[in-house]
Every structure is written in structure tokens, then in C-alpha cells.
Amino acid sequence: MHDAISLEKLGLPAAVVVTEEFLHEAEVQRAALGMDGLQPVVITHPLSSISAAEIAERAEQVVAQAQAIWLGRA
């Protein structure tokens, strides 16, 4: 979240990807850093030990949510 918040402050809409297990942490981090308005992209957990087909599914989740976040439709 830190890097995304730094870049939002510099004017870049940011799509930060977290897995659902880490959504709470992301919410606490953004609150602690003062940027409640930053919406993360949330994908199914886990990412680290899955098949290529499962990675492709996660990528689709990213594609849909990232655009909505950048355009302010999240």
C-alpha cells in the first residue's frame, strides 16, 4: 500500500492488487497512512502456489477491477 499511496499523492491513480486474505491489512495500512479512499484490487487467495490456468483467472479479476478503480467507478 505504501508505494501506491506515495504515487497517488504524486497524481497517479493506482490499482493495488492484494489477495482476499490481506484485504484487512491493506485497509488498516491505508487508514494508518491517511488515505481511506484508496480502493485495492482484491483477488482470490492464494497467488503463490497456483497453476497457470488459475493465474489467468486471477488476471481476469485484475483486468476488471483495475479499470474501475482508475476511472473512479469502484
Partner 1 sequence: MAKTTTGGVEAVYDPRGRVDAAAAAIAPRARQLKGLRLAVLDNTKWNANKLLRQSLKRLDEEIGFAAVNYYRKESFSKVAAPELVGEIAANNDLLLTAIGD
Partner 2 sequence: MEPAAVAELPRADELAPPPQGTDLVEWYFAKGFSDGFPVVPPTPAKVAAMLAALGGEPELLECRVPPRWGGLTREVLAINLVLAGCLPDYAPVVRAALLALCDTAFNLNGVQATTHMAAPLLVVNGPVRKIIGMNAGCNVFGSGNRANATIGRAIRLILLNVGGGWPGDLDKSTLGHPGKYTYCIAENEEESPLAPYHVEHGYAAEQSTVFLLAAEPPHSVTNHVANDPEGILDSICSAMSTIANNNAVSSGHCAVVLGPEHARTIAKAGWKRQDIRAYLWMYSGNRFRDLAFDHRYGKIYNRNLPVWYKREPDSRIPIVPSPDHIHLFVAGGNAGRFSAFIPGWGHMTSPVLRAIDGSVGPDGAFCVDGTCAV
Which residues contact partner 1 (rule: CB under 8 A)? 1-19, 21-22, 25-26, 31-38, 40, 43, 45-50, 52, 55-56, 58-60, 62-63, 66-67, 70-72
Which entry of partner 2, partner 1, none binds 68, CB below 5 to 8 A by partner kind?
A: none
Binding region for partner 2 (CB under 8 A) out of 9-17, 23-31, 56-64, 65-73: 23-31
The Cα 64–Cα 3 span in angstroms is 22
Reduced to 3 states (helix: H, G, I; strand: E, B; else coil), residue 42 is strand
Would you state the torsion angle of the CA atoms of residues 74, 26, 1, 38, taken in this order, to the nearest 10 degrees?
A: 30
Q: Residue 61 belongs to what H/E stretch?
A: helix 52-71
Interacting residues toward partner 2 by CB under 8 A = 2, 21-22, 24-25, 27-29, 31-34, 36
